[in-house]
A and B are shown apart, each in its own frame.
Chain A
Amino acid sequence: MAPWLFYLFATISVVSSIGVIGQRNPMYSVLLLIGSFISLAGLYVGLDSPFVAVTQIVVYAGAIMVLFLFVVMLLNAPREDVAPGAQLPIPGVVKAYGGVLSVAMAAMLLWALSRLGVVPFVEDPQAAERVASVRDIGLMLFRDHAFSFEVTSILILVAMVGAVVLAKKTV
């Protein structure tokens, strides 16, 4: 994929992800996360995986994030308020410790990846075509991974029943 496209989408996704964890209002966080997901879908198109890109937009940005939006609107709690009896905001020491931990993790991951050596993608048009083929994805999913696929349906069923039971007025 074109370098400027990669850097554009990467910048959008990183900046909006930082915005997600920086926002006080969960509504803005959810909207920024949708932007991050859409730029990730652009990266998937660049990786010759258009089907994943479409699924990302339809399922992730479309369904899951709308669920989040519904809950944020339903609860109508726009600010991070102080819980009665709890010490908030987080003490500075704890916050600094968490920040240092996550920066250390980022540094460790980047250091480990920088030791990998530069690995370019194979510029094989046939491989790109094979990866992009929805037919191959379907065959693989319903033939080689049929059992996992069926187990997934049970997982969704259990999650659905669990969500209904948990959110019921009288448990």
Chain B
Amino acid sequence: MITLNHFLLLSALLFSIGTAGIFLRRNVITLLLSVEIMLNAVNLTFVALGRFNGSVEGQIITFFVMTVAAAEAAVGLALVIALFRHRETLSPDAFTSLKW
């Protein structure tokens, strides 16, 4: 039988994969994709717990998370385009003008 634990464990696993992507990759677009993985892991937790409680609150907050993800993707990708225009690369190591 599938219990709440299964969903929470899967969500934790996905979140850790997203974290690993942030740590290990040097590509701005892949970093943004890793953030999306982490947001989705959290969404899964919300929906599973909402189902567990028998209320739709979990789904409501999932919609808000999706909205924030859409806004984040729009602004983040605009930043990527602006940075790529200046440096001709996607590596975050190149964007160090503000580093002392």
Interface residues of A, Cβ cutoff 8 Å to B: 1-3, 6, 10, 13-14, 17-18, 20-21, 23, 26, 29-30, 33, 36-37, 40, 43-44, 46-49, 51-52, 55-56, 59-60, 63-64, 67-68, 71-72, 74-75, 77, 80-90, 95, 98-99, 101-103, 105-106, 109-110, 113, 116, 118-122, 124, 127-128, 130-131, 133, 136-137, 140-141, 145, 148, 152, 155-156, 158-160, 162-164, 166-167, 171
| Closest Cβ–Cβ distance, residue B72 to chain A (whole Å) | 8
Which residues of the other chain, B, contact A106 by a CB distance below 8 angstroms?
Answer: 12-13, 16
Tell me whether A67 and B67 are in contact (CB under 8 A).
Answer: no
Interface residues of B, Cβ cutoff 8 Å to A: 1-10, 12-21, 23-27, 29-30, 32-34, 36-37, 40, 43-44, 47-48, 50-52, 54-57, 59-60, 62-64, 66-75, 77-82, 84, 87, 89-91, 93-94, 96
| Closest Cβ–Cβ distance, residue A54 to chain B (whole Å) | 11
SS of A interface (majority): helix
Give the number of residue pairs across the A-B interface with Cβ within 8 Å: 248
Tell me whether B57 and A140 are in contact (CB under 8 A).
Answer: yes
Other A-B pairs, 17, CB within 8 Å; known A109-B15, A158-B71: A17-B17, A52-B43, A60-B66, A67-B74, A72-B29, A105-B19, A106-B16, A109-B12, A119-B52, A120-B3, A121-B52, A137-B56, A145-B60, A159-B70, A166-B75, A166-B78, A167-B82
Tell me whether B47 and A49 are in contact (CB under 8 A).
Answer: yes
User: In the complex, A159→B72 CA distance in Å?
Assistant: 8
Tell me whether B82 and A171 are in contact (CB under 8 A).
Answer: yes
Tell me whether A21 and B17 are in contact (CB under 8 A).
Answer: yes
Which residues of the other chain, B, contact A116 by a CB distance below 8 angstroms?
Answer: 5, 8
